[in-house]
Structure 1
Amino acid sequence: MTLAHTDPRTCSPVLVGRGSQLSALTAAVAQQPSVVLVNGEAGIGKTRLLRELLRGLDSTPLRVLTGSCQPLREPFPYGAVLDALHTVGACLDRRALSPVAGVLRPLLPEIAHHLPDLPEFPEDPRHRRHQIFRAVREVLSVLGPTLLVVEDLHWADDGSRQLLRFLMSEPPPNLSVLVTYRREDTPGGMPLGSAYQPPAGVVSLLLELRPLEVEEVSELTAAILGVPAVPSDLAARLHERTAGIPFVLEETLRAMRDPVGGVSTDTCTARRLLDTIEVPALLRDAMAERLSRLPATGRRVAHAAAVLGVPASEELLAEVGAMSSERVRPAIIRALRAGVLYEVDDARYGFRHALAQQAVYDTLSGPERRRLHVRAFEALSGVDPAPLFQIAEHSRRAGMLDEWLRHGEAAADHAAEMGDSTTATRLYQRLLDETPHVSAVDRLAVKLGLVARHGMDQHDPCATLERLLGDVRLSLAARGEVRLNLGLLLIRQAGSLRRGLAEIQTAVEELRERPDLAMHGRTVLAQPFNSTWPLDCHLRWTRQVETFLGECDDEALRLSLLANHLSARLGVGDHTVLDELKLLPDNSPDVTTRRYLVRANTNLADACMLTGHFTLARRLLDKGMRLSVGAGVPFIVGTAQSTEARLDWYTGNWSGLRRRVTRLVEDYRELIPVAGELSLVLGCLAAVRGEWDAAERHLVHTGLRDPDNAFAPVFLGGFAALVRLHAVRDQVPAACAVADRGVRVLRDKGVWAWAGELAMPAVEVYCRAGRQGDAERLTEDLAAGLVGRTAPLATAALLACRAILAQHRQDRDAVELLHEARVAADDLSLVYYSALLSERIALTKLVGGEGCGAAELAAVADRFDAMGASVDAARCRKALRTGGTTSFSRRGRRSYGNSLSPREQEVAQLLRQGHTNREIAEFLFLSPRTVEQHVARILRKLGARTRADLVSPARR
């Protein structure tokens, strides 16, 4: 087949392979409120799909606002969203706007006169941020039906992500939000910074754009070349060479032009070109060809734009390209007409795609690049405020090492101050790798460790700090501080807790000349939560910290140390700490001090949660989270969220808990202290639902296999959950084996304040196994360990243990003891544990022949059902059946007609939760065959075709 001479268009005149996605997009944005996320790799066609969508919306009343993100853009908070609002002034009536909208005046000078007067700014940066968020939402809410589009969210600043998350979590009724991003270039793989779940009532759509198939490549090629069709073998070869990525295909076809501007007329030549040219080279060649058709001034302006890397004004392009204003304007016009440059937004010019920018950049020789980077550096150095990140990057690429060090460090410091720890960490690492100045190594190494401690990125900074400890450039004076920061990072990583503690111990010895830093290391070593170290080891460090605090008159240092010290003491049940909380100020305008307060409040909340001071834990947690806004401490926020999740498990706030915790696990998978506790909550939730395999899979991640490298309160909770899991499945020997391991670690650790979860199920399985002596010994040890300690959770567990023992011995006061234990559980709002004790009370009455026993047990079963504890509910109903409460009439079994019998209702409820026949049989103590018969009747009576029709949407 021969193809006609064709000059390939800029892009296909028709949209290929995206029809269903375009329809879905159109339908979603036509409904408000709605949220649409479009993900796809570079060149996959996100921009083209969006262009087709917007073209179709021209005839609709939907107002379209667009913002975009750039790879080298300065970290200007909320910039991507604010850019989209600078044209809406004419649509606003300041009288119709809330006064809060006035906070946008200094951020949006173009529409300032359309906004209310500037209100008084609160001092608290958290309140200021919330005001800005509310103001943006207010402005958007008065515009009528509106579509807010933000492209390339993977390049967004943290502020824009937070603002978009705020808008998308509760969008105004008139708003549709559409964002595009590349997951592979997004920090953590999450475009909004953390997992996002659209709220109820909001139309949501997630589009994943995939490469084109061979047939679609064929169709797109034909459309670009303007021919009816292309040979199937050529289409297959093109697909192989371009991987089906539309942009790469377009650029490849452009690169296949012959010298007179057309595509080869015979397919053999086309295939030969494809066989000899690699795709990356084709992209560079295609751009080089376009550049070659430009005059010298056009190439210079394109080179300047490629070096700048972000959309630039006409004036900046002229300065970097060393051109006069009279010459730069026609040069830009020529570059635009040639498809080299594009007008990205109002009077700023760049490239349609990052690949195109890189292709032009690659056409420059080394000396040319350096010369242009020097000009870019000089041009941007005069801008106010200085774009520090860009200046640093240009000085680095220009080989100006002194300037690179100065501006790179300034950019990293600025990012750290703004709470962007990821950017700061990467800059410090690069500076350490590249700076020749020995004098700067100490300073940069310390800054890297300090910033990394607050951030989410752990492994790369650890590797850099470990290399530095063997680097001759690092001074002895800085070595201890670097090692301390390394140890603090290691204790968060899987399998590295013991190694991290060892590094901290070594650092304490190296920091003899820095007692403040050495004492900070001691406060970490004093934390009883780490590893299986006996409590006495931690108390040795605690006494050293107390001695130092008694002589310390540096208030900032005292506060930093108290953030760890108070929680360490409260975590083991030291009641005197409750009187010392007044030592902590409520707030501080200083960011560093506020970070100490965040850590202090969240650490104390965790200690309160572990020991059972749940109300105080909630109050401290809320305070810590409020203080964390704008403090730039994502790691501490993560620990607070895991504390809150476990607190919700204890107190029965289970609605939506599993979904929330699952999202958090994805956010914090690499942070073992956080991920372990979240896995514990997921394991407990799975266990009460009878999801045995999932429960065991989650519980493994609590540190059960390697307690030496795990956090004691978490793996003790894991042991407790696993004991309950085996016990409810009547696997008593396995339950006892797990209980033995957990109790042995508990005794070795010596912190009986943490026995609140493990003691009760361990005593129960010991009694069921005939090991009454072990049950009594554990109860006695618990009682002795709690003397002089404040630990409401463990105290309630002690009451339950005594009650279970009395019940096992058939003592007359068993019910009275059970009531006492249940009152203690109710006082703590331990909803699930209260239900378990209520079940024991009702069973005791039922077995004893008391008439109220059956009714109480039925009520407990309903309580379990309402909580979602289907296994426990089934156990109660089995006891009711076997206790003789089922009655039959003399005429035989009652007929329920088309209504579900009580047994069928139980089966139907488990079906809706997504359980299999085998699981239902195990829950209800029935044979699989009987369950099959029940399922068949339920489907018939409910008019369902398959069991999938019965599964609730939340379980699908």
Structure 2
Amino acid sequence: MRASDSEPTSSLLAPRFVGRSRELATVRDALDRPEPVVLLIEGEAGIGKTRLVQEVLRGVEQNTLLVTCPPYSQPFTLAAVVDALRAAVDDVRLLSLSPLTGALRSVFPEWIGHLPPSPEPLDDPAAARHRLFRALGELIDALGISLLVVEDAQWADPASIDLLLYLQTRPAANLSLLITCRTPDVPRLRLVPDAIQVRLDGLSVRETATMVSSMLAEPPVSDAFAGFLRTRTDGVPLALEETVRLMHARADLTRRDGAWVRRHLDQITVPARIRDGVLERLAHLDRPAQTVLRAAAVVGEPVDVDGLVAITGLAQGPAYDGVSAALAVQLLEERGAGVAFRHALVRQAVYDEIPAHERRAAHRAAGELLEARGRAAQLAEHFKAARELPRWRRYAEQAADAALAAGDETTSVRYLFDLALEAELDGAELARIAAKITYSAVIGEQPYEVLIRALRVALDTCPEEARGALRFQLARALSNSGDFAGSRRELELAVPDLAQDRTTSMRAMLMLGVPHGTRWPAARHLGWLHRARELVRLDDPAEGTRFLVDHTVGLLGLGEPSGWDQLDQLPDEVSDPRQRDDLARGNINLSDVALLWGRYPEARAMLNRAAALAEGRGYVRMTDLIALNQVRLDWHTGAWDGLAARAAALADNQDIPANTRVEALLVALWLDHAAGHELTRLDEAIEGVWKFAPTSLTAEVAALAAIGPLADGRADEAVRITDPAIEIIHAKQSWLWANDLAPVRVAALAAVGRLDDAAELTETFRRGVPAEHSLSSPGAVATCTALVAAASGDFDRARTAYRDAARAWDQLPRPYAALLVQERAGRCDLVAGRTADGLALLTATFDGLAALGARSDATRILQVLTEHGVKRSRPWWGGRKGYGDQLSPRELEVVRLVAEGRSNREVAEALFRSPHTVSSQLSSALRKLGLSSRHEIPAAAREAGLL
């Protein structure tokens, strides 16, 4: 086509607001209501959430505060809200503020001379945060703000999300909230359930044509053109705009016969990502404009021209020209007294293109420019990127401390992990930083792995005086990761080096008193607990609480009845946050040992207490641990309705460390066994338990693994399977661990003719368990006694012992165990000729097992009843939902996105699911595909034809 055949393209205009009339009306109608409302505008990046908000605000007369959350790698505690309020206040002295607002001094240092005096400091971070929220609420009310707009809430820090909830639920609240976010499943958006949700989707072909035509000033565009653009961009407005601008810059647009068309319909390749278009447009700008854009991308928030001059080193004239050029092509927009990128994706595209050495220099200059503002979190970000280690260390630790003071432990832990892993700290500094880590706020396994590696490296080179503290922190990290054996080794080595540190020595000894991870006899653990008692100062409330919690857990875990007496010394109410966290953690651990003792009501009360203490703390790990112990408790007590799904979800949750989630896997496997399903994940459970053995789970998984071979007549295999676990129990003298294992072991020994060994084990077990307080052991001991009697042919004695066992299990209650030994008692009646009694007992047992959902056991008994002419209807439990070894549709979606290189969080955003859900589905998919790592997915998915 000759040049004369077409008309040249004209300048592009800003796109018109298109395709959102229904959503605009919904939001405006809601804001016109007399009562406050909460509106949540959702949609993917670039879909037009900000543009909709801008249109809404044009027609709203309410006094509005706009808060924009930048996409920082680590969100700063309350920073976006504080910045918006700072900009909204001309002179704080003109506001009528109460003494409460003295709490704002910590977040508005520039107002210190004009705010009331600071109130008395509070030791409880949660109480301090609540007071700060109240002060911020008063400031918002004093400004007369009735509409709070929060943009990009997916990047908000947890404290800011909690502030939104507080502001909306205050008594007599008169504040409406308008929130935008990329996904409806932002976990921390715990807003009122009647929030109005507005979902934005891509534009249609007709709407695409209207929007593009508005940019070209003279409609219309051709149908082929509009359809092409809609297909390549999914109708995402930002992608549409960037594509049209790129095509315009390439001179790929022309007019033909009065309509806009593409110059080469079959040859133009529209970039798949917005980034490509942004960078190509950037390349067409002159050097000052490029320099200004890169500096603005580094700052990441609105910045005035003088700030850009300071960062770039440009003269004022070229800097102004560069800003004007960037504004003209609409890469930047005016924001308050400065300029900023009009969209986070555009900013990120420019930022990623900056060469590393230029980026470091720009971050250094930005940090020095902003240092006068005193915002530690922001400065930590800049100086980290600049590799200015001393200043990064200083500001990152200040940011961690500030986040902790605001009750934001999750953000605090992120800063501390960053420092521990990347700040090149010496041994003493690393130990000090690691000591600040709140492990209850750590999610997943990877943080432990990298921290443990860093601690080990530092330990090899640290001076002798720092070795004890550093080794103790290594032991803490190992213990929290589940590597109890490694932790105990480090603790024993640390104690001599901690001789001058009484408190840390005591904590190390308490950890050595817990029986996990070693083959030590119980007496050795008790020795450490006694040594710890000699060091404690019980008159110090915080130290006393920590000691009583850990000491009591140690005693009860070792089978010492004195632990139940000591339990009464734990305080009921505490105000100190450290004591509350210790009590929450302690009640979780105490519920764990209460399950071993068969003290189920106490275990339930402890879990409820732990949940109450942990409420509002934001500790995902504590919540997961409570859920895990609740699942185990429900398994024992027969609360099986919906339990299989709960256990499976926890077992597949990759945010829970492997040594902990295996507890849920065991419950899922026990339920599979009772239902007669194949134990497809038994090897996984065995490997998971023995990786960090020994613990009480060592015996439990051995019992489960041996049941199948024993039932199939392979008793010698059952003996072999239970050998290692019973050896550990003998070595440790931890007979509470044997409650599930001992009956299976005795049955296996009797079946292979080792009756003397079976009787000896039964007697050793009976002597080894606590004579008082233990409610779980009598049922297990009676079961062992009955098995030995039955193997000896004494069915009358066996029947009596089985009935004793059933009563003991019933008292807990542990109905499944009670019904299984009741079945054995009924079979003894049949063997002894008491047919009527036996059938009556088996009929009652069948009914109990059927009601419980133990279909395999119920079916086994039904066969015996049928053989004896007893008619009983076969219960129907329904089909088992599932896809077997095939990927479910949801798992397949996750696999395809992971194969594209997306992270779990990116997959969650794309599929509108929580990261927890994606983690579980990915774990299940890996198992079904026989893969060990997400990195294997792309190749495996292609090979399997899944892509």
Taking structure 1 as the reference length, the TM-score comes to 0.68
Tell me which moved more, 780-789 or 661-670.
Answer: 661-670
**Contact kept in structure 2, 1:164 and 1:192, CA below 8 Å:** no
Does the 8 A contact of 1:319 with 1:379 survive in 2? yes
Residue 783 (structure 1) shift: 0.9
Partner of 1:712: 695
Whole-angstrom distance in 2 between the partners of 1:285 and 1:316: 26
| 1:411 Cα deviation from its structure 2 partner | 0.9
Q: Tell me which residue corresponds to 1:623.
A: 609
Cα 1:833–1:409 shift into 2, 3 Å: same
Q: Does structure 1 conserve the Cα–Cα contact (< 8 Å) formed by 2:468 and 2:494?
A: yes
Measure, in 1, the Cα distance between the counterparts of 2:125 and 2:350. 42
For the Cα contact (< 8 Å) 2:749–2:755, is it kept in 1? yes
1:680-714: per-residue Cα shift (whole Å, max 9, x none)? 22222222222314xx41x4344457626235212
Question: Is the partner of 2:511 in helix, strand or coil?
Answer: helix
Aligned pair partner of 2:851 in 866, 876, 882 = 866
What does residue 832 of structure 1 align with? 816
Equivalent runs, 1:600-611 vs 2, <5 Å = 600-611=586-597
1:676 aligned residue: 662
Task: Name the SS for the 1:692 alignment partner.
Answer: coil
Q: Say yes or no: does 1:911 pair with 2:879.
A: yes
- Residues 153 and 179 in structure 1, CA contact (< 8 A), matched pair in contact too: yes
Contact 1:165–1:192 (Cα < 8 Å) also in 2: no
Give 2:782's aligned residue: 799
Q: Distance in 2 between matches of 1:208 and 1:735?
A: 60
Q: Counterpart of 1:307? A: 298
Structure 1 residue 672 displacement after superposition:
3.1
Corresponding position: 1:388 with 2:354: no
Give the superposition deviation at 1:349. Answer: 6.5
Q: Spell out the pairing of 1:175-254 with structure 2 (5 A cutoff).
A: 180-181=181-182, 191-192=186-187, 227-228=221-222, 251-254=242-245
Number of the residue aligned with 2:629: 643
CA contact (8 A) 1:703 1:710 kept: no
Q: Which residue in the other structure is 2:348 paired with? A: 358
Opposite residue 228 of structure 1, the aligned amino acid is: S
Distance 2:581 2:646 in 1: 25
What do residues 27-48 of structure 1 show as CA deviations (whole Å, max 9, x unaligned)?
Answer: xxxxxx99999786xxx65x33
Aligned ranges for residues 141-160 of structure 1 at < 5 Å? 152-159=152-159
Q: 1:616 Cα shift?
A: 2.2
1:580–1:396 CA distance, 2 compared to 1 (3 A) = same
Q: 1:664 to 1:246 in 2, by over 3 A?
A: farther
Q: What is the Cα deviation at residue 782 of structure 1? A: 0.8
Partner SS for 1:192: coil
Question: Any conservation in 2 of the 1:416–1:451 contact (CA below 8 Å)?
Answer: no
Task: Quote the Cα distance in structure 2 between the aligned partners of 1:870 and 1:150.
Answer: 53
- Which residue matches 1:776? 759
Distance (whole Å) between structure 2 residues aligned to residue 365 and residue 691 of structure 1: 57
Distance 2:705 2:41 in 1: 39
Query: Kindly tell me: are residues 157 and 314 of structure 1, through their superposed partners in 2, closer, same or farther at Cα, counting changes over 3 Å?
Result: farther
Provide the residue aligned with 1:885 in structure 2.
870
Does structure 2 retain, via aligned residues, the 8 Å contact 1:290–1:340? no
1:406 corresponds in structure 2 to: 394
Q: Which among 744, 769, 784 is matched to residue 761 of structure 1?
A: 744
How is 1:439-588 mapped onto 2 (pairs within 5 angstroms)?
442-448=428-434, 450-451=436-437, 453-454=439-440, 455-456=442-443, 457-471=447-461, 474-493=462-481, 496-530=483-517, 533-536=518-521, 539-553=523-537, 555=540, 556-588=542-574
What is the rounded CA distance, in whole Å, between the counterparts of 2:167 and 2:718 in structure 1? 48
Deviation (angstroms), 1:728: 5.8
Tell me by how many angstroms 1:645 deviates: 2.3
CA displacement 1:390-444 (0-9 Å, x = unmatched): 12223445665543332222112223445545544443454456657x7x76224
Q: Calculate percent identity across the aligned residue pairs.
A: 26
Q: Give 1:96's aligned residue.
A: none
Q: Deviations over 1:249-306 (max 9, x none)?
A: 7535533434789579997879888699998564323246578897x9xx85x66653
Q: Which amino acid aligns with 2:433?
A: K
Q: CA RMSD in A?
A: 6.1
Kept in 2: contact 1:256–1:270 (CA 8 A): no
Query: Secondary structure in 2 aligned to 1:792?
Result: coil
Cα distance between partner residues in 2 of 1:823 and 1:34: 56
1:66-77 equivalences under 5 Å are: 69-72=69-72, 75-76=76-77
Q: Is the 8 A contact 1:702 1:714 kept in 2?
A: no
Distance apart, 1:373 and its partner CA: 5.1
Offset from partner CA, 1:453-500 (integer Å, 9 cap, x none): 4423312222322332245xx433223322222233234447x54334
**Distance (whole Å) between structure 2 residues aligned to residue 789 and residue 716 of structure 1:** 22
Alpha-carbon distance between aligned partners in 2 of 1:57 and 1:859, rounded to the nearest angstrom: 70
Q: Secondary structure at the match of 2:776?
A: helix
Counterpart residue number, 1:285: 280
Q: 5+ unaligned residues in a row in structure 2: which ranges?
A: 28-36, 89-100, 109-120, 137-146, 169-175, 885-947
TM-score (norm 2): 0.69
Contact 1:381–1:391 (8 Å) recurs in 2: yes
Quick one: distance in 1 between partners of 2:397 and 2:414? Answer: 11
Name the residue aligned to 2:899: none
2:800 maps to 816
Q: Would the aligned equivalents of 1:35 and 1:177 in 2 still touch at CA under 8 Å? A: yes
Task: State the alpha-carbon separation in 2 of the partners of residues 618 and 218 from structure 1.
Answer: 62
Distance 1:163 1:652 in 2: 41
Instruction: For residues 194-228 of structure 1, give each alpha carbon's deviation from its aligned partner in whole angstroms, at most 9, with x where no partner exists.
Output: 9x9x99x9999999999x999x9999999988643
* TM superposition shift of 1:557: 4.3
Q: For 2:694 and 2:334, how far apart are their aligned partners in 1?
A: 55
Which amino acid letter does the alignment assign opposite residue 604 of structure 1? L
Supply the distance in 1 between the matched residues of 2:778 and 2:486 (Cα, whole angstroms). Answer: 34
Please tell me whether the aligned partners of residues 752 and 786 of structure 1 are also in contact (alpha carbons under 8 angstroms). Answer: yes
- Would the alpha carbon gap of residues 313 and 658 (structure 1) be closer, same or farther in structure 2, given more than 3 Å must change? farther
Residues 1:339 and 2:330 are matched in the alignment: yes
Q: Residue 863 and residue 811 in structure 1: after superposition, are their counterparts in 2 closer, same or farther (change >3 A)?
A: closer
Q: Look up the match of 1:925.
A: none
Moved more, 481-490 or 335-344: 335-344
CA distance in 2, matches of 1:579, 1:623: 19
Native 8 Å contact 2:125 2:404 kept in 1: no
Superposition deviation, residue 573 in structure 1: 1.3
Contact 1:573–1:753 (Cα < 8 Å) also in 2: yes
Task: State the alpha-carbon separation in 2 of the partners of residues 82 and 397 from structure 1.
Answer: 22
CA distance in 2 between partners of 1:562 and 1:68 (Å): 46
* Aligned twin of 1:257: 248
Contact 1:80 1:156 in 2 (8 A): no
Query: After the TM superposition, which of the residue ranges 276-285 and 500-509 deviates more from structure 2?
Result: 276-285
